[in-house]
Every structure is written in C-alpha cells, then in structure tokens.
C-alpha cells in the first residue's frame, strides 16, 4: 500500500492523498492564491473536499471543483446549505456539525471548535468556523485547526483524537502567530506540526522558523514551501 501524503498548496489549502488512493482537498483556495503553484491550480482529480469555514480564502474553488469532478463536499451544516444554493449537487454534500463524525468512503471527518469570524464569500451567514480531524483508511489522523486563535480545549482535541500531525495557522494578524501556536502545540501534545496561513500576504508575518524557536523540545516543525509534500 502506498503512503498517505500531505501537500501544501499555499495559504491554508492542502491536498491529502491517502494510502488507498483517495484525493482530498482541504480549503481549496487555488485560483487567486498567490502562493499556489501553477501546476496545482487545475486539479485533474478531486474525490473529496473538506472545508473549515466559509471565508473566500478557504472555500476558494470548491463550487467549480465539485461541479467539474463530482466530488463529495464535507462542511458544517450552514456552509453546506450555502454551497447547495451556489451550484454544488446536494446529493454530494455531507453536512455535519461540531463533535459529529462522518464517514466518506472510508475516510472519517470530525468537526472541532475553532475561534474566528465567519461568513460566506458573499458576506452571508454560513455557520461558525471549525477545525477538522481527518482519519484516513490506514488509521492516520490529521488535525486541521482552521483559522483560529489558541484555546484551552485544544488539550481535549489532543486527548481525544491523538493526531499524528497538526496543521496550524501561524501567520499572525488574522490567526495565531508563532507565540500562540507554540502554546497550541503544547496543549495538543503533538510531535509533528505543519504550519500554514503564513507568507501569503504581507500582513502574515509569522514563520516556521519563529515557531521552531518557541515550540516544545522534541517537536518537528515541517518547513514546507508551497507544492512540497510530507508523508504522514
């Protein structure tokens, strides 16, 4: 069986290729994302899309990709409703809420809390922001924190889901910066971090190097550039 791999597409967009061959996009902000590699902006295959919240830099190309590829879309109930009104096949929507787990073709998705503002690309209400725990068919667990500040209940997320990898925003200004993310790492108890939501725009000043200086000892900070992949 192949490895499960995670590819950073710039900002908070990721492609997750599971060991059994599923291709999953998390927050697919591809076109319009100044850091997304050109060869990643037009995917040839999309099986599942999972969204943390409704801001345009996270919903991104979801509607077009879902329509083109017939992908299943996992999102919070209100966001799923918005997507259905904007062209996503309602039969392909998997609407959930925080704390619930949905199995999509063997891959499990669970929404967690996140603390951030929330609206759709058109400014309408699309539910609260969230994080997503993804458990692949081969038992690998990834925690996508979404856009959030640090919060104490990250300790519960670590305790309950025991992620192999945590994907944390570190850019500062709109989300955690390195100082806060270092505390989030401690709360989660994870040993491997993939930073995101940094370097896209000038306001996002946090860096993996700054996080590395502050994080607990024994934690690996993956210093990815857009287009880079890691094995989970």
**What does the mean pLDDT of the chain come to?**
97
**Among candidates 105, 106, 102, 155, which has minimal Cα distance to 133?**
102
Q: In which order are the strands placed within the sheet that holds 229-231?
A: 93-96, 72-76, 48-50, 23-26, 14-17, 5-8, 229-231
Residue-level pLDDT at 2: 85
Average pLDDT over residues 128-140: 97
The answer to whether 82 and 54 are in contact (CB under 8 A) is: yes
User: What is the pLDDT confidence band of residue 224, given thresholds at 50, 70 and 90?
Assistant: very high
Percent of the chain with pLDDT over 70: 100
The token pair at 50 is 């999972």
Arithmetic mean of pLDDT, 204-218: 97
Please identify, in words, the CATH class of the domain defined by 5-231.
Answer: alpha beta
- Residue 131 vs residues 32, 97, 147, 167, 223: alpha-carbon distances, Å: 23, 11, 8, 10, 21
At residue 152, the pLDDT reads 98
Backbone angles phi, psi at 133, to 5 degrees: -100, 125
Cβ(110)–Cβ(162) under 8 Å? no
Q: Does the pLDDT at position 1 exceed 70?
A: no
Output the pTM of the full model: 0.98
Domain residue ranges in the chain: 5-231
Bridge partner list, 96: 76
pLDDT band at 216 (very low <50, low <70, confident <90, very high): very high
* Neighbouring residues of 191: CB distance < 8 A, sequence distance ≥ 6: 218, 219, 220
């Amino acid at each position: 069986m192949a490895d499960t791999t995670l590819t950073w597409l710039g900002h908070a967009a990721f492609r997750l290729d599971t060991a059994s061959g599923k291709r999953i996009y998390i927050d697919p902000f591809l076109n319009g994302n100044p850091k997304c590699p050109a060869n990643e902006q037009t995917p040839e295959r999309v099986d599942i899309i999972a969204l943390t919240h409704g801001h345009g830099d996270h919903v991104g190309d979801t509607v077009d990709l879902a329509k083109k590829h017939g992908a299943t879309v996992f999102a919070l109930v209100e966001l799923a409703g918005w997507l259905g009104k904007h062209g996503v096949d309602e039969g392909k929507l998997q609407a959930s809420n925080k704390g619930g787990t949905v199995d999509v073709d063997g891959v499990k998705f669970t929404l967690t809390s996140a603390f951030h503002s929330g609206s759709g690309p058109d400014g309408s209400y699309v539910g609260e922001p969230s994080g997503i725990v993804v458990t692949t068919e081969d038992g690998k667990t990834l925690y996508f924190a979404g856009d959030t500040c640090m919060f104490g209940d990250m300790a519960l997320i670590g305790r309950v889901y025991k992620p192999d990898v945590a994907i944390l925003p570190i850019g500062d200004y709109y989300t955690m910066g390195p100082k806060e993310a270092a505390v989030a790492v401690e709360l989660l108890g994870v040993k491997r971090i993939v930073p995101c939501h940094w370097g896209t725009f000038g306001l996002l000043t946090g860096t993996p190097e700054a996080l590395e200086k502050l994080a607990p000892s024994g934690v690996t900070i993956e210093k990815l550039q857009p287009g880079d992949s890691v094995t989970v």
